[in-house]
């Protein structure tokens, strides 16, 4: 049986571990497409990349895993089309692969609001090791960093910018930080606590939607 998996993130890798741990039945012929150029890593711990963890430290793949289990891993190759009638997956690099079973483990992408300028250089999303490498490079020639979004990831990103030595601003649409998780008083507490954390290298600046609108 030919099994094709699209995505080698945390879920795709966990699926492979479960698959190879099964003792019964014939082993399928497995191919994995991943549009990132490195195999699965711990995205939850991504921010620790800025505090000294390397890509290797974050890896979720034991050395030799793919070779040992005869799994073909196509890194840096995005699946761009699925033909469900002929049962083929086509990739950006022009591979056409037949499958009997297809697993989509593609995760999600950051939502980027359609703001003019969002596509300009030095605007980044915060999702992959490559994003953090690009942020670190840009921080080397920057003085001020702004994070759009005061949720969990936004605050992680803000702390990272602060640690990179930038004067850090957070722009939040809602009237408080982590608006989904916290009520007003919780939001106030968090804002004070966070200001203490990143306050030493530049005054943190939390702007609500109305303030941001006046820029
Ligand atoms: C900075 C950060 C901190 C986080 N912290 C937490 C946390 O504390 N707790 C928590 O529960 N969650 C957290 N998350 C979310 C968590 O990382 C995700 O829920 C988890 O990574 C989802 O795993 P996944 O395998 O489904 O997707 P992903 O890890 O996104 O992996 C999907 C992979 O598929 C690849 N892919 C997508 N489309 C294609 C295609 N067409 N062809 C080939 N490859 C493709 C992607 O590039 C990616 O490599 C955090 C996320 C980030 C970015």
Q: Could you give the angle at which helices 129-139 and 152-163 cross, rounded to 10 degrees?
A: 40
pLDDT for 173 equals 85
Q: Exposure of 20 by Cβ count < 10 A (0-12 exposed, 13-18 middle, 19+ buried)? A: middle
Rounded CA-CA distance 93/45 in Å is: 30
Give the three-state DSSP class for 135: helix
Same fold, 2-104 and 129-212: yes
Ligand 1 pocket, 179 CB below 6 A? no
Rounded CA-CA distance 89/97 in Å is: 5
Ligand 1 pocket, 10 CB below 6 A? yes
pLDDT for 113 equals 87
pLDDT for 207 equals 53
Ligand 1 atom, smallest distance to 92 CA? 42
pLDDT, block means (10 residues), the chain with 215 residues: 97 97 85 97 95 95 96 97 97 96 95 90 95 96 94 93 92 90 93 80 46 39
Distance from residue 119's CA to the centre of ligand 1 (Å)? 22
pLDDT for 33 equals 98
Rounded to two decimals, the pTM is 0.89
Ligand 1 pocket, 50 CB below 6 A? no
CATH classification number, 2-104, choose in 3.40.190.10, 3.50.50.60, 3.40.50.980, 3.40.50.620: 3.50.50.60
Burial state string for 171-183 with b = 16 or more CB within 10 A and e = fewer than 16: bbbeebbbbeebe
- Enumerate residues 6+ apart whose C-beta is below 8 A from 150: 158, 170, 171, 172, 174, 176, 177, 178, 179, 206
Ligand 1 pocket, 6 CB below 6 A? yes
Cβ pair 190, 175 in contact under 8 A: no
Ligand 1 pocket, 135 CB below 6 A? no
Beta bridge partners of 72: 31
pLDDT for 215 equals 37
Ligand 1 pocket, 212 CB below 6 A? no
Domain segments of the chain as ranges: 2-104, 129-212
Q: How many CB atoms lie within 10 A of CB 193?
A: 10
Ligand 1 pocket, 90 CB below 6 A? no
Rounded CA-CA distance 74/179 in Å is: 39
Q: What is the length of the chain?
A: 215
Phi-psi domain of 71 (left: phi exceeds 0; alpha: psi -120 through 50; beta: other)? beta
- Enumerate residues 6+ apart whose C-beta is below 8 A from 29: 1, 2, 3, 70
Nearest CA to ligand 1 atom 23: 10
Nearest CA to ligand 1 atom 44: 34
Sheet of 144-148, strands arranged across: 144-148, 167-171, 205-207
129-212 carries CATH number 2.40.40.20:
no
């Amino acid at each position: 049986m030919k099994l094709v998996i699209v995505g080698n993130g945390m879920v795709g890798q966990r699926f492979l571990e479960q698959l190879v741990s099964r003792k019964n039945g014939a082993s399928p012929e497995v191919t994995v497409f991943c549009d990132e150029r490195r195999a699965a890593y711990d995205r939850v711990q991504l921010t620790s990349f800025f505090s000294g963890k390397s890509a290797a430290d974050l890896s979720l793949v034991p050395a030799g895993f793919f070779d040992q289990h005869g799994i073909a891993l196509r890194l840096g190759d995005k699946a761009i089309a699925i033909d469900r009638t002929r049962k083929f997956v086509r990739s950006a690099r022009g591979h056409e692969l037949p499958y009997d079973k297809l697993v989509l483990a593609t995760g999600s992408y950051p939502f980027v609001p359609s703001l003019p300028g969002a596509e300009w250089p030095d605007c980044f999303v915060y999702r992959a090791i490559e994003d953090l490498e690009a942020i670190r490079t840009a921080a080397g020639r920057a003085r001020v960093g702004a994070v759009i979004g005061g949720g969990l990831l936004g605050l992680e990103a803000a702390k990272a910018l602060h640690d990179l030595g930038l004067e850090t601003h957070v722009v939040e649409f809602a009237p408080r930080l982590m608006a989904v998780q916290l009520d007003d008083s919780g939001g106030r507490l968090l804002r004070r606590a966070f200001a203490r954390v990143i306050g030493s290298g530049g005054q943190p600046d939390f702007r609500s939607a109305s303030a941001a609108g006046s820029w």
